[in-house]
Copies of this chain bind each other. A is one copy, B any other.
Amino acid sequence: MPKQVDHHERRTLLADALLRVAARDGLMDVSLRHVATEAGVTAGMVQHYFRTKDEMMIFALDVVAARVQARLADDPDPRRLVRSLLVQLLPLDADRELEGRVAVAYHAYAATRPDVAARLEQDTRGMRAAVADRIRAVGHAGPLEPDIAATGLLALVEGLAVHVLGGHLDGDTALATLDGHLDVAFGTPASTPPPAAPSGSRA
């Protein structure tokens, strides 16, 4: 066999270009040619690694899902674990903002593509179960059922992310809101103050 190229690496490189385009210009502007230009390659090469545009879109979604998954260091303390899981879903730095924009775009995209929707659903369900388990793990119950609390926390960060991305909310307020609801969900262990207090300003 000739040449020998790491296919997965090339596809990931193209997926990254796609994510940048999607975050900057929106999913409507994602085309074979735009992705190719962003990646600094020809459109033909993109076609070589993805037979169809949809295949490329789904691969890119898998890339971000894998990265989010990989960033999860597991923590013995349930609340810290849940918090770190949820915090990384908020667009608080440049990388998360890019991922957040991609996520919003893909949620809209999923409305028409059942397979994309399925992948998104699977991720959400997994996280919800994980959060609910951790809430159950701590004894002192809050006012909310663990399942309800977990559902609420996931939905909360989803909404906070949307509002921060839309400029309706600043990151500090989003973090404070998340921490407040973590207190509620975990039954406010006021003895153990939130792991890292938000820096300062809030508006």
Contact = CB atoms under 8 A, between A and B. Distances in A.
Nearest to A30: B28
Contact of A159 (B143, B144, B158): B158
Interface in A74-126: 101, 104-105, 107-112, 117, 120-121, 124-125
Interface residues of A, number: 51
The number of times this chain is found in the oligomer is 2
Contacts of A183: 143
A169 interface: yes
Contacts of A169: 151, 155
Contact of A168 (B108, B112, B121): B121
A54 interface: no
Contacts of A166: 107, 110, 117, 120-121, 124
